[in-house]
Structure 1
Amino acid sequence: MSKTYATLGELKPGNFIMIDGEPCKIVEMSKAKTGKHGSAKAHVVAISLISGAKKTFVAPVDTRVEVPIIEKRVGQVLAITGDSVQLMDMETYDTFEVPLPEEEELKSRLEPGVEVEYWVMPPGVYKIMRVRGGK
């Protein structure tokens, strides 16, 4: 659960960026040169991976920004209790609880024994992204 740094001008749609302490996926980005003595600005529109909220960010293109390092892992559902899912990592066999996904289609496919792909994002947030395999 770490992050690295990159220049804002190097990023493009599809990359990840930290905005307001949340990892976000860039969906739209535009660059504009401002005036004779101004520096070029970048306008970034991104979707938060945690809350799903749309976030915007405007800064000079040479600004160093945080880029989250997102671990994509595979786990098996052990149990579903209320609003959380108990997972076991398929590599380390660690067990932990993850919040139940909000997407109805994803939620309906979860049951004990199913393998899922989950992401570990800064600041230590776990999120189920998809169900692996058939069904």
Structure 2
Amino acid sequence: MVDEDHNHTFESAGAGASLTYPMQCSALRKGGHVVIKSRPCKIVDMSTSKTGKHGHAKVHLVAIDIFTGKKLEDICPSTHNMDVPNVNRVEYTLVNIDDGFLNLMTPEGASKDDVKVPEGELGAQISSEFDAGKELLVTVVSSMGEEMALSLKEAPRGA
């Protein structure tokens, strides 16, 4: 028996990749990533307090937002879970700079035109080295729906 009223069409579906995954606070490590105040951060310092009279050791985290560079802190019981962001780093070849956006090419040859020229020193360095005719590789970091060019290096000759 077919139900005519429930004919569903799914236009698109995600790959099922989540923006974050849970990890026990005591398993987090310096140099790793964590979500603090809904921002993806890199842990720069952490310390664990002794168990108190209520029985939970607390973990004090100091982390830097990977996109803004702001310092954030959080305290969490060591047995509780915290969200860890999925962070991806991809190196792209810089093809052009157009209207404040980087025209990039993936290693597979597809174009990517939605990454803004970063503000500040890195943006100026990318623009000046590109204008000087250098072949550049730009590292783009993406996490939790945001992405940003984070570093650059000169492409090896013959690549």
Q: Which residue of 2 aligns with 1:114?
A: 136
Identity %: 28
Q: CA–CA distance in 2 between the matches of 1:63 and 1:92?
A: 43
1:133 equivalent to 2:150? Answer no
Alignment of 1:77-92 (within 5 A): 77-91=94-108
Deviations 1:34-59 (A, max 9, x none): 42333100000000011111000011
How far residue 121 of structure 1 moved from its aligned partner, in angstroms, is 1.1
Change beyond 3 A, Cα 1:58–1:89: same
Give the secondary structure class of the aligned counterpart of 2:108. Answer: coil
How far residue 106 of structure 1 moved from its aligned partner, in angstroms, is 5.6
CA RMSD in angstroms comes to 2.3
Greater Cα shift, 92-101 or 70-79: 92-101
TM-score, normalised relative to structure 1: 0.85
Greater Cα shift, 98-107 or 69-78: 98-107
Q: CA–CA distance in 2 between the matches of 1:47 and 1:37?
A: 30
Q: CA–CA distance in 1 between the matches of 2:126 and 2:34?
A: 30
4+ aligned runs moved over 6 Å, structure 1? none
Q: With CA pairs under 8 Å and 6+ residues apart, which has the higher RCO, 1 or 2? A: 1
1:35 equivalent to 2:16? Answer no
Q: CA–CA distance in 2 between the matches of 1:23 and 1:65?
A: 12
Q: CA–CA distance in 1 between the matches of 2:95 and 2:138?
A: 11
How far residue 24 of structure 1 moved from its aligned partner, in angstroms, is 0.2
TM-score, normalised relative to structure 2: 0.73
Count of aligned positions = 134
Letter in 1 for 2:143: M
Which structure has the bigger radius of gyration? 2
Question: Is the CA contact 1:29–1:44 (under 8 Å) kept in the aligned structure 2?
Answer: yes
Question: Is there any run of 5+ residues in structure 2 with no aligned partner, and where?
Answer: 1-16
Q: CA–CA distance in 2 between the matches of 1:108 and 1:53?
A: 22
Bigger proportion of residues as strand = 1
